[in-house]
A and B are shown apart, each in its own frame.
Chain A
Amino acid sequence: MKILVLVKHVPDTETKVKLASGGKSLDDSEFKYMVNPYDEFAIEEAVRTQEKHTGESVVVSMGPTRVQEGMRKAMAMGIDRGVWINTEGHSGELDSFCVASALSKVVLEEKPDVVFLGQKAIDDDSAHIGPMLAELCAMPHIQVATKIEWQDGAQSARIEREVEGGMMEIYDVKAPMVLGAHKSLNEPRFPPLPGIMKAKKKPLAEKKLSEVLSDSPLVTVRGFALPSEKAAGKVFKGEPLPDMVKKVVGLLRSEAKVI
């Protein structure tokens, strides 16, 4: 089986977002980056799939030089090699269609049986790449896969998709396919020390953005704003608890009018 996994580098979850140039952009000077948490489930699923079905695994990332860190982490977890789309020095906007289109060039060249990625990236929260990439590669996709069972010698898979309120849809999907990894798929391993050492020597091919970018953005970002901060609330302490609960519930009804 040939397995591809897409990995994005995102500001970590403790990041405080600040505006720059009057809201035209975000101040990224204090951003610390991490592998998108959902992509870790994708990497783990890719490694486990390869362990079970043999074959080859490839990590693909798009971004500046720092994204190689995430690619090395994926390789330390067990991925065989990497393809890096280098965006270093690119000043124009890249919307999700541009990214999906650029990634599709690599996917069509590599011809994998399955492409894993996280069900969404926690920075822009768009969850566009899976469905868009699948469309551009004429593959089926399941955007939030919570369970994967390969069948017919990995020609197809039975896949559960979480809908809402615990409702599940179960699909039979033909390979090649694009699958968005959900947290419930697996528990990502910590990269073992020998894996970290090996990862340093694994092949990482570079592609220039210009080789794979053929589109201009369909969506542009006009600016950013911070959400308005709430005024301080009423915090009760030190009184008998039944009284405090009675007061809060009373306020929810009379003042906040939500119950």
Chain B
Amino acid sequence: MSVKNAAAFRRPKRLGIDRRRSLEAYIFLIPWLIGVCLFFAYPIFVSVRLAFSDIVEFKGLKTAWVGFENFRYIFFYDINFVPTFLKVVTDTLLNTPLCMVFSLIIAIFINRKMVGRGFFRTAFFIPVLLGTGYIMKQLLGMGVDGMTVTTGILVPKLIADLLGPSITEVVQGFLDRITVVLWKSGVQIVLFLAGLQGISGSLYEAARVDGATEWEMFWKITLPMISPVIMMNVVYTIVAFFTDTTNPLVDYIYKMNFTNQQFEYAAAMSWLYFIFALVLCLASILMMRRHIYDSGAKG
């Protein structure tokens, strides 16, 4: 072929620079691409198919297509799903902003030069060490087994008498929630701390020369500069709350899978659940996008 001859004439062994770079990239990606096929894409495919079908024969997973039957069952017959789901949703919507505010405050605190900085840093990192595992679940008194160690800081008796039972209940609920939230914000604090360290000190110096107060510097420098971290943290927090093993819905889905063995139904539930998490993440990204500071760096 003439084309082949022409190609031979133009040094055929050399690929174009773009093609070659592409090829190199795929060499680096080989392990991950294998992983995507085996541990991600295929299980997701099976899981989606399960959500829309009924298992006819367990061996080899033979399924029959039933359309939205499983989803219909969730909404119209299951008395547990909707209340648990709503509880998880309100928890997430309340906990995420609380977590952001507190972890940012704590990160700003321990970013300052002060006595006992090492101690405080370790103290605030302890929840990460305990992880999201069983230990934390028990320590926070959310164990399904009913054995609790603590249910957060109690409102002192004196103040409780002063406020009356109904207000105390609200305050107590708030305190309980804060304990839980704080205990889950270890990673967020670390990320914020890293973000704060990345802000150039010259900005603060310039502001101080111009007579800015600490308060003004927080709103005009710290917050805008740290906004990318806030966005990342919001997404991380939503996902962390959603995948947490202390989450009642995750527990419910788990039981449906491995105790009741209704795999199709569990798959349908978990996809509904995932779609909600995705919508929440996307919504928060879109909402915050306009306010994110962009340094103009590539990336």
* A and B associate in one complex: no
